[in-house]
Amino acid sequence: MAPPFIFPQTLTSLEEDNDSDYTRLTVQNPSPISSLRPSELEEFVKGVSFDLSDKELFCVEEQEVFDRVYSLVKNFTSLSPGSKFNLVESLRSNLSVLLPNVDSLSRLRRSVSRDGGQDENDEPGGEHSVADRLASHRNAFKIYSFFLVHILLINESSSSSVNNAAAKVLASSKKKRPVDSWNWEPQRGRILNLIANSLEINLSLLFGSSDPDENYLSFIMKNAFLMFENALLLKDSDIKDALCRIIGTCATKYHYLAQSCASILHMIHKYDFVVTHLADAVAGAEKRYADGSMATSLIREIGRMNPKDYVKDTVGAENIGRFLVELAERLPKLLSTNIGLLVPHFGGESYKIRNALAGVLGKLIAKAFNDVEGEVSSKSIRLRTKQAMLEILLERCRDVSAYTRSRVLQVWAELCEEHSVSIGLWNEVATVASGRLEDKSAIVRKSALNLLIMMLQHNPFGPQLRATSFEATLEQYKKKLTELAPKCTPQNSDEALLDNEVSCGESGVEDEEVEGVSKGQDSLSDSCLPNAGDGQVQGDNSVPDVGNVEQTRTLVASLEAGLRFSKCISETMPALVQLMASSSSGDVENTILLLMRCRQFQIDGSETCLRKMLPLVFSQDKSIYEAVENAFITIYIRKNPVETAKNLLNLAVDSNIGDLAALEFILGALVSKGEITASMLSALWDFFCFNVSGTTAEQSRGALSVLCMAAKSSPTVLSSHLQEIVDIGFGRWAKVEPLLARTACVALQRLCEEDKKKLLSTNGTRVFGILDSLVSGFSLSENIWYAAVDKAIAALYAIHPTPETIAADLVKKSLKSAFESGEGSEMQTDIASGTTVQVTKLSRYLFIVSHVAMNQLVYIESSIRKIQKAKSKKEKMDAEKKNLDANTESDVQKDDGINSELGLAASEDAMLDTLAERAEKEIVSSGSAEKNLIGHCAPFVSKLCRNFSVMQKYPELQASGMLALCRLMIIDADFCESNLQLLFTVVENAVSDTVRSNCTIALGDLAVRFPNLLEPWTENMYARLRDQSVSVRKNAVLVLSHLILNDMMKVKGYINEMCMRLEDADERISNLAKLFFHELSKKGSNPIYNLLPDILGKLSCQNLKGESFCNIMQFLIATIKKDKQMEALVEKLCNRFTGVSDIRQWEYISYCLSQLAFTEKSMRRLMESIKAYEHVLSEDTVMDNFRNIINKGKKFAKPEVKSSIEEFEERINKLHNEKKEQVLTEKNAQAHQEKVDNFESLIATKKDGDESGESEITEDEEEEEEEEEFDNPVEDSEILRSKSRGKKSRARSDGSSEVTELESGDDEEVESSSVHLRDASKYRTKRSRTRSRNVCPDSSVRRTTRSNRR
């Protein structure tokens, strides 16, 4: 019998541990494989394979065979592929045959044992022979396993080295790697599966105990984990399954638990790719053996770990978290019973662990409580556990870490998707999610938006969530409930839901009713109101019968929950509007998706909010534009052309000016892309022409408006309906819808050149007559006339061949109409020489004159552009023509050279510019003595606007007059310069907000056209930001933002006025100011960085609340992102302390310092500049700001920097205490000095009035002394008074009160004559002597003695 085989530490240890006593099987005579020739080696391998296959299975324990197999395994890499295959197959086949023999051997042993018990003398050696065979099988089992595993290890190590070498070769050259003729991958999988199968048999028969040999298990597990570290091996599913089976079997079946758990945790901490596979191994072991001891042990070990350890080991924390989530996915019930071990980690500092635990709770809630079997008590316990988990998740929505808050909201979204949130908890989750929409972190807001989208998509209340329909349905079911149970007091709906806290997936009574109603009909709210689409409830009081009282009560509770959910989502609309203005593109995109979902479920207010997304088409962010465009297509573009046309025209009718501009932009893009088809345009024409029944005049106008927008991208859209535009746009329907004529004028402007010629040839006279009557007539009301005439005059200039002639006729007609006698007019005013005019007609005349002048300017500029375009086109054609003629090439070059030398081309351009300048100047003031039509009107407009009494009497006339004045100023520089003073006077003093707003806008246009003229008035332009009117301030912000951001105005020293608007009472103005500074920060190297010190100084001197100042500076500093600028700001702000003595400014500067984003360099600069600000550290507020800076620095600092920060903290704390004591000492010294000065003045002015008898000489001397003292009484009194004022608040002793009384006496002395001074001095001396006697007798005696000595 061979000695037992004991697993060595390594393969070569079998040679080193030679034992002459034969107590263990070792290598005695290894074969010299390296010295054999290939042919000899082949024969040697064949001999070994023959012996293994021909002899018994346990022949491998024979010394000779064992030594030869060892030698081959040791030199396995040097074998040929065929030899490798033969050796591996021999070992593997023998082990696979050996495994079934273990069971037969065990049966033989039991039979021998039974027979031996009956008659031991029959076969005395039977049991010993079976025991020997069992020992041989055990040895053979160990040896085969040992050699096969080592072959795996040797081949894997050689494969990895070959792969690395091949990778280097491939990196340097493109030569192919030689292909090995022996395919190792299938052999590897077979060996590992064989090892796994060997562990699953009853090894207790071989090893004689329930657990196999410790060395054997240690050997197998050690090498299994070693192979688990190879990511390439785990990609093979067979190998991965085999390794998972090995680990699970050893840990669970053979109780190799502690070592396995330690190895698993070590690998999880070290390698991220093993997390999923190890979770599979743990879950597979629990499923195979119905034993969760390994999972429980791992959870216990994770729970025992110190939460602080995860703060430093972030990779390990993330891997552990992933492992727990994977484990919860696979073993939810087991983890739910051990979740208490992990809950304490919610209080740890690692947010990654908290994120993972939130995911674990989500998995458990969704999967661990789905079974309905079991006793009532256990079911109640599970429901309470689930409720506790839900409460933890709700609490974690307010976690300190944004990552955790975001993860928890994602978990809630997953639970809603899996229908694992009960109706009773639904509204609470919705409330939390809506509150997180205002979170400061973008990732949290994104998760909150996605959660609300998911809640709408999977809501248990139905596909329509109109609040009015819910209220109507709820009211009727409440009536039915009172009818069913008139004597019973209905239970509170909230209590009913909370009592029945069953998730939607658990299908309680409540959910059965909800599903029954919501699936059978469109929604709960519409179940009995089929015609309540618009929120108008009809008089049918019958509702479907849902069952008994309890079921009806449950349905009422569900309806109330649905109503609360609808209102909760509706209340988020203001927050969603704010999010659409967010700087984060993710916020905007997800908000649009949520609003689209809200519109799908008919949430109140969603339609209005969606229209506010239209201006986002102008966003420079491509993703935002695409989101808006996709949402627009989804909402308004339908397959049915008529529906699409109706949607678009309704949108155009209800939109404001800004939305119309955005609508025009997006429609132009959709027409270019082909999203707006010809059939949709045809449907729009049908609406405009009233071909669709029920079309109103307003809808007709909306259709024409949409067609005009489409014509901007495709002018041929209007070609086929020119006659309809004229007939309908200016016909009888224009009287029903006055704005229809204005829209028709816009359509005339959008015509292409061919259509314009066609219109002039067919209906030219008629069209011009219609436009003339529109401008000159009084058919339109006053509020619509101005808008219509604006477009009518523009249309005339767009289609008329000589627009100046017809425009002159319009001006003359209007002038004649204005100055005709206005009989019966209610508003008349004397303009000059007793002429009486109507204010309305005069206002219209001024509007026509100014608008014609503006259009004339635009016409001149467009004509110049046409000439330049034609010239460049001609030059291009000539150049192409000359290039084709090769014979004249030299002549062409010669002519071009002569022309360039003479400057003929430049002279032509200069001549064109001169003509353009002259034409523009002749509009208002021509160069000749004779003035033109508008030139005669300009002085009149100026004189009229200077008549402030008339302007204040008629505000509408002032509005028209100032608008005309501004337009004329924009046209002519001389006229502008002569009226600038008037314009700024009106913009500052006009009573009407409209006039001031119009003038503010005009100032922006003037600054663009004549920047040099407006430059001296920059301060006055900024002053409009302080106007009392909200509209004026808003327009001022818009105008200045436009000028500054487009480099038309320099950012001067008045930018602090714009900063003040950041805290404007009107939210829109505040948002506009924030947008301005946000865009300004993007220009160049961020101008705000250079402006910040000046802004700080000016804001500090203004009467501004501390909170407002902090908000302004916090916003401005947040726009500075570069570290270098932050570092420079630290130095600038520190140096600013030296020139400031005001405590308030100290506090402001220190606050700004605390808002900076500090780096190591900036912290060093702060420490180096301590001399500049050490004198301000006595103030507590300043010190608090510096402490905030230090706390910030400690968070990011490295250990060496952190020690410097701590030293700096100790130093400033010491300085703070010293400076505070110094200030306190100074105050006490000043108070003491004040007392001393006051007592000395008392002694100097006191006169001895002692009753013991004083000589007259003494009195005369005293009087002379008093006269000397009061030679300059006013000066002394002023000095004393100034000292007392400066120190009155600091004196707190009795002496200070005496000084106060003396000060009042001194004031009286200054006002009195010299005689009165002497009397008052005597009286005061007596009073002070009396008081001093009462207070301090010793001092009184000393003063008397001193007086006697005199």
Average pLDDT for 69-78:
86
Q: What is the pLDDT of residues 958-987, one digit of tens each?
A: 999 999 999 999 998 889 999 999 999 999
Residue 1114's Cα: distance from chain center in Å? 18
SS3 415: helix
Mean pLDDT of 1027-1054: 90
Name the average pLDDT for the chain: 79
pLDDT given at position 572: 94
Sort residue 280 into left (φ over 0), alpha (ψ -120 to 50) or beta.
Answer: alpha
User: CA-CA distance, 861 to 844, in Å (whole number)?
Assistant: 26
Q: How many CB atoms lie within 10 A of CB 116?
A: 16
pLDDT in tens, 343-381: 888 888 889 999 999 999 999 998 888 765 556 667 788
In whole angstroms, what is the distance from residue 256 CA to residue 240 CA?
A: 20
pLDDT of residue 1331: 42
Name the band, by pLDDT with cuts 50, 70 and 90, for residue 127: low
Neighbouring residues of 1341: CB distance < 8 A, sequence distance ≥ 6: none
- Which residues, 6+ apart, have CB-to-CB distance to 223 below 8 Å? 149, 152, 153
Average pLDDT of span 53-67: 81
Q: Is 1342 helix (H, G, I), strand (E, B) or coil?
A: helix
Confidence (pLDDT) at 926: 56
Min mean pLDDT across 178-182, 1116-1120, 1129-1133 is at 178-182
C-beta of residue 689 within 8 angstroms of C-beta of residue 740: no
Return the half-sphere exposure (C-beta side, CA atoms, 13 A cut-off) of residue 652.
28
Nearest Cα neighbor of 1296 from 1246, 1338, 1234 is 1234
Alpha carbons 606 and 626: distance in angstroms, whole number: 20
Strand, helix or coil for residue 56:
coil
Alpha helices per DSSP H over 368-466: 376-396, 402-417, 423-435, 442-457
How many residues are given for the chain?
Answer: 1350
Q: Which range has the worst mean pLDDT, 290-304, 708-722, 885-899?
A: 885-899
Q: Give the pLDDT confidence score for residue 792 in this predicted structure.
A: 92
**pLDDT for the residue numbered 1348:** 41
Q: Is there a contact between 976 and 1006 (Cβ–Cβ < 8 Å)?
A: yes
**Which residue would you say has higher pLDDT here, 1271 or 1075?**
1075
pLDDT at 277 over 90: yes
Residue 26 has pLDDT above 50, yes or no: yes
- Check residue 602 and give left, alpha or beta (phi > 0: left; psi -120 to 50: alpha): left
* pLDDT for res 211: 67
Give SS3 for 1263. helix
Provide the Cα torsion 1082, 1085, 1091, 1093; round to 10°.
120
By the 8 A CB rule, do 1081 and 1119 touch?
A: yes
What tens digit of pLDDT does each residue of 661-701 get? 999 999 999 999 988 999 999 999 999 999 999 899 999 99
Rounded mean pLDDT, 461-470: 88
3-state secondary structure 560-610: HHHHHHHHHHHCCHHHHHHHHCCCCHHHHHHHHHHHHHHHHCCCCCHHHHH
Residue 501 has pLDDT above 60, yes or no: no
Q: Give 838's DSSP letter.
A: E
Residues 277 and 210: their CA atoms lie apart, in Å, by: 28
What is the pLDDT averaged over residues 519-537? 39
Nearest CA among 181, 151, 155 for reference residue 81 = 181
> Token pair of 1023, please?
């002053």
Q: Enter the tokens of residue 969.
A: 């100023």
Q: Give long-range contacts, CB 8 A cutoff, 24+ apart: 1074-1083.
A: 1074/1115, 1075/1041, 1076/1037, 1076/1040, 1076/1041, 1076/1044, 1076/1045, 1077/1115, 1077/1116, 1077/1119, 1078/583, 1078/1119, 1079/1041, 1079/1045, 1080/1044, 1080/1045, 1080/1051, 1080/1119, 1081/1119, 1081/1120, 1083/1045
CB contact at 8 A, 663 and 614? yes
pLDDT surpassing 90 at residue 414: yes
Tens digits of per-residue pLDDT, 820-856? Answer: 755 434 444 444 444 577 888 899 999 999 999 999 9
Residue that wins the pLDDT comparison between 1324 and 474: 474
Q: Give the pLDDT score at 1025.
A: 92
Q: Which tokens go with 286?
A: 């629990």
Does the structure show a pLDDT above 80 at 166? no
- Per-residue confidence (pLDDT) for residue 108, from 0 to 100: 63
d(CA 1109, CA 1100): 8
Token pair listed for 1208 = 């700096």
Report the amino acid identity of residue 821.
S
pLDDT, residue 1085, reads 85
CA dist list (Å): 194 to 197, 488, 621, 878, 1110: 5, 73, 60, 89, 73
The pLDDT tens digits for 793-804 are 999 999 998 998
Averaged over 478-487, what is the pLDDT?
Answer: 74
Rounded-to-integer distance, Cα 441 and Cα 447, Å: 10
Selected residue with higher pLDDT from 687 and 889 = 687
Statement: residue 1005 has pLDDT above 50: yes
Q: How does pLDDT run across 1149-1195, given as a tens digit for each residue?
A: 999 999 888 888 888 888 888 888 888 888 888 888 888 888 888 87
pTM of this structure: 0.74
Q: Are 638 and 644 in contact (CB under 8 A)?
A: yes
Six-digit token string for 1219? 């400076």
| Amino acid 1342: pLDDT | 40
d(CA 443, CA 403): 7
Q: State the amino acid at position 657 in one-letter form.
A: I
Residue 1062 has pLDDT above 70, yes or no: yes
Q: What is the pLDDT of residue 542?
A: 56
CA 455 to chain centre: 21
Q: Quote the distance between the C-alpha of residue 174 and its chain's center.
A: 48
State residue 1247's pLDDT score: 54
**pLDDT for residue 312 is more than 70:** yes
Q: Summarize the confidence of residues 374-398 as an average pLDDT.
A: 84
How many H helices and E strands in the chain? 65, 2
Over pLDDT 70: what percentage of the chain?
79
| Dist. CA 1114–CA 1157, nearest whole Å | 11
Q: What are phi and psi of 547, to 5 degrees?
A: 135, -150
Is 90 exceeded by the pLDDT of residue 1042?
A: yes
* Residue range 568-596: mean pLDDT, rounded: 92
pLDDT computed for residue 1252 by the predictor: 43
Residue type, 768: F
The pLDDT value recorded for residue 515 is: 40
The per-residue pLDDT for 1259 is 44
User: For 1290-1318, what is each residue's pLDDT tens digit?
Assistant: 333 343 333 333 333 334 333 333 333 33
- Give CA angle at 540 (536, 542), nearest 5°: 130
Residue 1284: is its pLDDT beyond 80?
A: no
User: By three-state DSSP, how is residue 1156 classified?
Assistant: coil
Task: Collect all residues with Cβ–Cβ distance below 8 Å to 1225 and sequence separation of at least 6.
Answer: none
Residue linked to tokens 């009397």:
1319
- pLDDT band at residue 113, thresholds of 50, 70 and 90? low
Q: Is the pLDDT of residue 198 over 90?
A: no
Between 197 and 1269, name the one with better pLDDT: 197
Rounded Cα–Cα distance for residues 827 and 825 (Å): 6
Residue 106's pLDDT band, with cuts at 50, 70 and 90, is low
DSSP annotation string for 241-283: HHHHHHHHIIIIIS--HHHHHHHHHHHHHH-STTHHHHHHHHH
What is residue 1216's predicted lDDT score, i.e. its pLDDT?
82
Q: Residues with Cβ < 8 Å from 1046, sequence gap 6 or more?
A: none
At residue 422 the predicted structure's pLDDT band, cuts being 50, 70 and 90, is: confident
